C-alpha cells in the first residue's frame, strides 16, 4: 500500500448541484479505486462559494467512513498556488489522526485555515 495519493477534483461546474453530480459520477470511482492502493488520499477542489460547502463536506466525510482505515481528506486551492497546496497536502499526510476533513489554502499567503 502506498503512503499517499492525490485525486484532482478541480474543474467541476460552478453550480453546486451540477458539481456534485459530476463529482459523484467522475471523481468518486477514482477515489474508490485509490482506497485499496493508498493509506491516505487527498482530493483537491477549486475554490467555490459557500453553496458548495455542504455537499463537499458530506461527500468527503462519507468517503472517509467507507475507506477506513484509509484516510480521505480534501484541500481547496487555486491551481497556481502549488507551494501552499503542497504544504497542506504534506500536513494532512503527516497528521495520521485527521480524516474526513476539508482544508482551504489561502490564495494570498498559502496558509492553512
Could you state, in order of their start, the residue ranges of all structural domains in the chain? 5-104
Question: CA separation (Å) from 98 to 5, 53, 78?
Answer: 15, 18, 22
pLDDT given at position 95: 92
Q: What is the pLDDT of residues 24-63, one digit of tens each?
A: 999 999 999 999 888 899 999 999 999 999 999 999 999 9
| pLDDT surpasses 50 at 110 | no
Q: What is the pLDDT of residues 1-20, one digit of tens each?
A: 455 788 999 999 999 999 99
**51: DSSP letter:** G
Amino acid at each position: 500500500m502506498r503512503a499517499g495519493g492525490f485525486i484532482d477534483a478541480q474543474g467541476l461546474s460552478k453550480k453546486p448541484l451540477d458539481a456534485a453530480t459530476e463529482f459523484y459520477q467522475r471523481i468518486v470511482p477514482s477515489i474508490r479505486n485509490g482506497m485499496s492502493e493508498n493509506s491516505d488520499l487527498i482530493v483537491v477542489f477549486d475554490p467555490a462559494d459557500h453553496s458548495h460547502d455542504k455537499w463537499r463536506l458530506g461527500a468527503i466525510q462519507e468517503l472517509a467512513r467507507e475507506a477506513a482505515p484509509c484516510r480521505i481528506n480534501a484541500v481547496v486551492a487555486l491551481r497556481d498556488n502549488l507551494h501552499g497546496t503542497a504544504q497542506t497536502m504534506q500536513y494532512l499526510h503527516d497528521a495520521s489522526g485527521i480524516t474526513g476533513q476539508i482544508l482551504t489554502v489561502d490564495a494570498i499567503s498559502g496558509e492553512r485555515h
